[in-house]
Amino acid sequence: MIAAEGLRFSYAGRPAVDGVTLEARPGRVLGLLGPNGSGKTTLLRMLYGALRPAAGRVTVAGRPLSGMSTREVAQQVAVVVQESGSETMLSVRDATMLGRLPRLATFQRPGAADERAVDEALARVGARHLADRPFSHLSGGERQRVLVARALAQEAGFLLLDEPTNHLDIRYQHEVLQLVRDVATSAVVVLHDLNLAARYCDDLVLLDRGRVARAGSPDEVLEPELLERVYGIGVTRTHLDGHLQLLFHPLAHHAPHPHQDRRLPA
Amino acid sequence: MVVAEVAGRGAPTTDPSPVDHLRRSRRWTAGLVAALLVSVVAGTALGAVHVPFASVVEVVSHHLFLVPEQRDWSASRDSIVWEVRLPRVLLAALVGAGLAVCGIALQAMVRNLLADPYLIGVNSGASTGAAAAILFGVTLGLGEHALPVSAFLGALVASALVFAVARSAGRVTSTRLLLAGVAVGYALQALTSFLIFASDSAEGARSVMFWLLGSLALAEWGQPLAVAAVVVTATVALLTVVGRRLDALSIGDETALTLGVHPERFRSLLLVAVALCVAVVVSAAGSIGFVGLVVPHLARRAVGAAHTRAVPVAALMGAVLLIWADVLARVVLAPAGGADRHRHRRPRRPVPARPRPPPAGDHLTS
C-alpha cells in the first residue's frame, strides 16, 4: 500500500498541494482527478520521491519514503512519466531492459532471468513483435504500451502513471487503461478524462486547488454538483450499458473559471 | 482482447532475439579490434619514409619482447619506428578513443545530438592555459612539461567554471549544462584572443595555434602518453560499466529517477570523469574536432544506442579513425626533405629562465 498523510508542497510560495491524505490500496486502481493546476502531477511526484513534501509523509508498504534511496524506491514503485523519451534511439528491447536497472548491481550484466522478464513484459502488453524496432519509430499507443512493459519488467509492487492517455486516440486510451487494469497489482493513475476514470478506476481522488475535494468510489466522486463546482462546467450524469457516463456542457451564466478569481490581488 | 490480437498478429514476423544484438556488437567489436591492430602497424609503416610492415613488427617486437634479440636494421629506421611514429600512432588511438567516448557520454548527458567533448569548455580552457604559458612564460617551474600541464590546468579550471555556472541554481540540468558550456567557452575564446593580441610575440601566437588546431606532433614516450593511456582506458571502462544508467539518463531526468538513477548526482559524476579525460587528451594533442561529434553517431548506427555496446565500439572507431586521419595528413603534407620532420613544427616551449641544453629526442629530426 502507498499511503500519503497530510502532504504539502508549494512552488515559490504558492501552495500546489495543500494537506492531501490518500491511500492506494493493494489490488486496486486509484485515479487522481482534477482541473489543470489542481496539483495532480505534483502529488504523484511526491508519491515516488521526485519531490520532497514540505510537510506530511509518504509510506510505501509501511516504510517511509524519505528513508529510502532512489534505487530502493525504484525497486518498489514503477512509474510511467509523461516524458516519453521520443528522441531516444534505443531499441524497444533495450528501453524495456532499463526496467531491470534497479535490480542490477553496478557491475552486473543482465542475465537470462532479466531477458526473460523483458520478454514476458513485452508479451503481456502485446509488444513482443516490436522488440527490435527503435522506440522512437513507434506510434503513440505502441510507445505507451512499451513504457508499461518497462514498468512491468521492473517487477515493482506499485505502478504509477502520469496521464498515460495523453496524445492517444480514443481506442488506445481505452486499450492502455485496460492494460493497466489487467497487469497492475496496485496502480495510481493521473487522468483528465472523467469517463475513463469512471470506467477503469476502483477508487478516485478529486483534487481542487491542491486539496482533496472528495475521495471515494467513482459513484461517490463523480457527482454533477461537485464537478460543476470544481471544473466550472455543466455536468449531466447518465448510465450507458451499466457504466456511469458523464456529459458536459458550458454553464449558461458564463461563470468565471473557479480558479481565476482566486488569483486576483486581494 | 485487442492486446492479444496485436500480439498474435505480430509474433510470426520477427521473433525478437537478444542474441542478434549481442552477436552484431561482438562482430563489430572483433572487427574493430583487428582493424585497430592493422591500423597501428600501418600507421607506423606509412609516412614520408616508407617502412615495410614486417619491419615495423620486428622493430616493435624487439623493443617490447627482445625478439629478435639482435637488430639488423639501421638506427634511423629504429628511431623512426620506435621513437617517432609509434608513440604518435598510439597517441592518435588514445585521443580518438577518448574523444569518441566523451562525445557519446556528453550527448547522453545533455540529450543533444550536436554535443561534442568541447561542449564543456575544456578546449577553450586548454588553449587559454597554453596561451598564458607561451606568451607570458608562466612555466610554474615545470620545465619540459610546462605547456601540456598549463593546458591541462586551463582545461580543468574551465570545466570547473562550467560546472559552477551550471550548478549556480542548485541543480545541474541538461539545458543549464549546455548553456554554461557554451557561455564559458565563448568567454575563454575571447580571453585567448586577447592574450594573443596583447602579446608582442608572433611566434608565441603561432604556438597557441597548436592548441586551437590540434596536432599529434608532441607525441613521445613519456609521462604524458602514459597518463593519457591510463585516463582514457579508465574512462572507456567507466562509461561502459555505467552504460545502462547512461541509457536511462538519455531518455530523461524523470525517467532516470524512477529507474533508481539520481540524475543530477550521476550527471555531476560523469562531468568530472569526462572533463578529466578531455583535459588530458586536449593537453596532449590540442582541440581535435570531428571525432567526438561524429564517431558516437557512427557507433550507435552500427550497434544500436545502448551504451554498454556503443561505448566500446565508439572507442575503437575513434582510435582507428584518428590513426588514419593522421596518416593521411602525414602522407599528403609530407615534408619535401623526405624524413619525418614534423618535430620542427613542435610549439615553442615557454621561454626558460636560464638557457637549457636541447631536450633529448630532438636529434631524431636530423
Q: Does B16 reside within a domain?
A: no
**Is residue B329 in a domain?**
yes
CATH number for B131: 1.10.3470.10
- CA of B272, closest CA in chain A: separation in Å? 19
pLDDT at residue B214, rounded to an integer: 84
Q: Which of the four pLDDT bands, split at 50, 70 and 90, describes residue B363?
A: very low
Touching check for B174 and chain A: CB below 8 Å?
A: no
B124 located within any domain: yes
Which among A44, A45, A93, A176 is the top mutation candidate for probing chain B, defined by the most B β-carbons within 10 Å of its own β-carbon?
Answer: A93
* A85 pLDDT above the threshold of 80: no
Q: In this structure, what DSSP letter does residue A249 have?
A: E
What is residue B234's predicted lDDT score, i.e. its pLDDT? 98
User: What is the pairing mode between strands A2-11 and A55-60?
Assistant: antiparallel
Chain B CB contacts of A129 below 8 Å = 6-7, 9-11, 13-14, 16
Domains: count for chain B: 1
Residue A240's pLDDT band, with cuts at 50, 70 and 90, is confident
Residue with cell 616493435: B60
The pLDDT assigned to B138 comes to 67
- In the stretch 212-241 of chain B, residues with CB closer than 8 A to chain A read 241
Please tell me the distance from the alpha carbon of residue B92 to that of residue B310, in angstroms, as a whole number: 20
- Do A71 and B3 make contact, defined as CB atoms within 8 angstroms? no
Inside any domain, residue B27: no
Residue B175 near chain A (CB below 8 Å): no
Domains of chain A: 2-263 (3.40.50.300)
Judging contacts by C-beta atoms under 8 Å, the chain B residues touching residue A79 are: 254, 258
| Contact state of B304 with A90 under an 8 Å Cβ cutoff | yes
Give the residues across from A235 on adjacent strands.
Answer: A248
CA distance A235 to chain B (A): 31
What's the predicted TM-score (pTM) here? Answer: 0.86
Tell me, what amino acid is at A117?
A: A
| Res. B8: pLDDT tops 50 | no
Whether residue B254 and residue A83 make contact (CB cut-off 8 A), yes or no, is yes
CB-based contact (8 Å) between B62 and chain A? no
Reported ipTM: the value is 0.89
Q: How far is CA B16 from CA B11, B117, B338, in A?
A: 9, 35, 57
Contacts of A107 in chain B (CB under 8 A): 241
Chain B neighbors of A93, CB-CB under 8 A: 16, 18, 21
Q: Please check whether residue B59 touches A, CB under 8 A.
A: no
Q: Which domain holds residue B251?
A: 32-63+75-351
For residues B58-83, give the mean pLDDT. 91
Apex CA B8: angle with CA A195 and CA A112, to 5°? Answer: 100
Report pLDDT for B348: 45
In chain B, the percentage of residues whose pLDDT exceeds 90 is 49
On whether the CB atoms of residues B325 and B38 are closer than 8 A, the answer is no
Among B6-10, B88-92, B223-227, B351-355, top mean pLDDT goes to: B88-92
Q: Looking at the domain assignment, is residue B129 inside a domain?
A: yes
The pLDDT, as a whole number, for residue A141 is: 86
Q: What pLDDT is attached to residue B206?
A: 78
> pLDDT tens digits for B24-46?
889 999 999 999 999 999 999 99
Q: Any chain B CB within 8 A of the CB of A139?
A: no
- Nearest CA to B313 among B18, B107, B36, B114? B36
In a domain, B133, yes or no: yes
Q: Is residue B22 part of a domain?
A: no
User: Mind spelling out the 3-state secondary structure of chain B?
Assistant: CHHHHHHHHHCCCCCCCHHHHHHHHHHHHHHHHHHHHHHHHHHHHCCCCCCCHHHHHHHHHHHHHCCCCCCCCCHHHHHHHHHHHHHHHHHHHHHHHHHHHHHHHHHHHCCCCCCCHHHHCHHHHHHHHHHHHHHHCCCCCCHHHHHHHHHHHHHHHHHHHHHHHHHCCCCCCHHHHHHHHHHHHHHHHHHHHHHHHHCCCHHHHHHHHHHHHCCCCCCCCCHHHHHHHHHHHHHHHHHHHCHHHHHHHHHCHHHHHHCCCCHHHHHHHHHHHHHHHHHHHHHHHCCCCCHHHHHHHHHHHHHCCCHHHHHHHHHHHHHHHHHHHHHHHHHHCCCCCCCCCHHHHCCCCCCCCCCCCCCCCHHHHC
- Whether the pLDDT of residue B360 is over 50: the answer is no
Query: With contacts defined as CB-CB under 8 Å, which chain A residues touch B262?
Result: 70
Which pLDDT score is estimated for B13? 41
Cβ contact, residue pair A50, B13, below 8 Å: no
Q: How far does B269 lie from chain A, in Å, by closest CA?
A: 14
Question: Which residue among B252, B253, B259 places its CB closest to the CB of A101?
Answer: B259
A230 or B8: which carries more pLDDT confidence? A230
Q: Per residue in A42-80, pLDDT tens? A: 999 999 999 999 999 999 999 999 999 999 999 999 999
Q: Is the dihedral of CA B323, B328, B333, B337 positive or negative?
A: positive
Q: Chain B within 8 Å of A34 (Cβ-Cβ)?
A: no
User: Would an 8 Å CB–CB cutoff place A155 in contact with chain B?
Assistant: no
**Cβ of residue A83 closer than 8 Å to a chain B Cβ:** yes
Q: Which residues of A touch B14 (CB under 8 A)?
A: 129, 131-132
Mutation target among B113, B258, B269 for the A interface, most CBs of A within 10 A: B258
Q: What is the mean pLDDT of residues B56-71?
A: 91
Any CB–CB contact under 8 A between B19 and chain A? Answer: no
Tell me whether residue B4 is in a domain.
Answer: no
pLDDT number for residue A92: 94
**Could you tell me if B47 and A122 are in contact, meaning their C-beta atoms sit under 8 angstroms apart?**
no
Among residues B244, B25, B26, B4, which one has the least CA distance to residue A129?
A: B4
Query: What does the pLDDT average to over A199-226?
Result: 95
Q: What pLDDT shows up at residue A255? A: 57
Mean pLDDT of B70-85: 91
Q: Name the residue among B21, B260, B262 with its Cβ closest to that of A101.
A: B260
Q: Residue B18: what pLDDT? A: 58
Largest CA distance in chain B: 87
Closest Cα in chain A to B255: A81
